[in-house]
Structure 1
Amino acid sequence: MPGGSAKTAILYRMVMDKHVCPYGLKARALLRRKGYQIEDRWLRTRQETDAFKAERGVRTTPQAFIDGVRIGGYDDLRRHFGLKVGDPTATSYTPVLAVFAVTALMALALSYASFGSAFTVRTGEWFIGLSMMALAMLKLQNVETFSTMFLNYDLLARRWVPYGKIYPFAELGAGALMVAGALTWLSAPVALFIGGVGAVSVFKAVYLDRRELKCACVGGGSNVPLGFISLTENLMMVAMAVWMGVMAAPLVA
């Protein structure tokens, strides 16, 4: 550095034939972004790693040292530089918002490809149908875990436990039929039923009972809080069911 000494850091990280520590790579990248010249010291075997941890009195690697002072691992480096460190136990709406953002883009793309315009009535219909399918896919990754979390608040699942395992399949099927615009006589009642029961269940748990729960909407094990977005998801299904039923009525007549 002109007019002064360069900032330097020492980084100990695992670099083995069959494993390169990802947090070591992230720590190295962070130090480089902060303008540090890095003395990159590799721990090439498990024995070497264990010996390093015993010698330094640490439990994990990587370990970064700046000006001879141990800073710690990747999260410790972020704290040292005043950067935010994620809390894996914190609740967040990000997973379900990500689903809605992606399905909205998919609906816009499909509408443009089909009609030459991104903004059509079908865009809205596809958005809801695709959202149902995407959310069902996440639930189906582990139906057992989803159904267990679902029992915390769904009124029907509490009375009839198998409903928790049926729900994601019903959501997927109704969503697929809505996207296809087929068998409205089946998809609309199914969406109306599961969306209606879900909306009542969420409203009771959150706004009447004042319970703080995690939503099973993106599958079991998520940290999405049960609340307004969960209620909106169910109301969207109800609205879509009513809309498709109304649109199909003239055809039936």
Structure 2
Amino acid sequence: MAKNAKRATLYRMVMPEHVCPFGRKAKHLLERRGYKVDDRWLTTRAETDAFKAEHGVATTPQTFIDGTRIGGYDDLRRFFGAALPAKDATSYRPVIALFAMTALMALAASKAAFGTPLTLQALAWFGAFSMCALALLKLQDVERFSTMFLNYDLLAQRWVPYATLYPFIEGGAGVLMAARLLPWLSIPLALLAGGVGAVSVVKAVYIDRRALKCACVGGTSNVPLGAVSLLENLMMVAMAVWMLLRPMGGM
């Protein structure tokens, strides 16, 4: 059907104060698939409400092909064969994107500083930049992060304020390590946060067999607690050990 149909009718909100972004996406998707779009604008709230009532729908945009209502933007994507994840489905995409970006940042910094991206300093920067980026995600909603963190972190469960302090500790240690400043402060902070965190994850996931969400990328992720959080904590420990073993001028 999708291959043979060349015309589609799209109803979307286009008002002076609001143009529906999903309507724009639906129109672009249809045109990309080779459809000539009969683009019908709903220009007032009353007109939009009347359209919804007439067709028995709760949202716009709405697409019709060969007289059959396909539905909204997500329905249109499914019509063209896209697989849409469930709302609460596990996704490692935020974590992959974060580490990919911090790796590129580290390589770029090494290239700018030393003329080549492939240096040991790039590896160290990757660890430090990752700590900073992970802390940034937590700092977007510290309250929500701390609530998730209290589910498994052993130190936070004994001293609740630590759950709120953790993002600042992680981010502060990352900044100091990236600049190689105040190692007497950054190294203990990273060892504390990373060491306690690693033990906490191992206990919660691999000993107690608890199924929890990871707070490592903030309080809104659907990443299960386990390998990702363990990697984050071991990275902090590795950075601290690196700082202890490398002389100040040796990088």
Instruction: State the TM-score, normalized to the length of structure 2.
Output: 0.94
**TM-align CA RMSD:** 1.7
Contact 1:125 1:179 in 2 (8 A): yes
Aligned length: 247
Distance 1:77 1:208 in 2: 45
Distance 2:200 2:121 in 1: 29
Distance 2:181 2:78 in 1: 54
Instruction: State the TM-score, normalized to the length of structure 1.
Output: 0.93
- The equivalent residue for 2:39 is 40
- The equivalent residue for 1:246 is 245
Contact 1:184 1:248 in 2 (8 A): no
Unaligned runs of at least 5 residues, structure 2:
none
Distance 2:79 2:171 in 1: 46
Q: CA deviation at 1:219?
A: 1.1
Contact 1:6 1:37 in 2 (8 A): no
Distance 1:249 1:204 in 2: 36
- The equivalent residue for 1:147 is 146
- The equivalent residue for 1:95 is 94
SS in 2 for 1:15: strand
- The equivalent residue for 1:123 is 122
Q: CA deviation at 1:247?
A: 2.0
- The equivalent residue for 1:51 is 50
- Post-superposition Cα deviations, 1:55-112, rounded to whole Å, max 9, x if no partner, equal 1111111111111111111111111111122333112111122111111111111111
Question: Does 2:235 align with 1:236?
Answer: yes
SS in 1 for 2:38: strand
Distance 2:180 2:84 in 1: 45
Unaligned runs of at least 5 residues, structure 1:
none
Q: CA deviation at 1:18?
A: 0.8
Equivalent residue letter for 1:65: F
Kindly tell me: are residues 231 and 27 of structure 1, through their superposed partners in 2, closer, same or farther at Cα, counting changes over 3 Å? Answer: same
Equivalent residue letter for 1:147: S
Q: Please list, as runs of the form range in 1=range in 2, the aligned pairs for 1:105-184 lying within 5 A after superposition.
A: 105-184=104-183
- The equivalent residue for 1:29 is 28
Contact 1:8 1:66 in 2 (8 A): yes
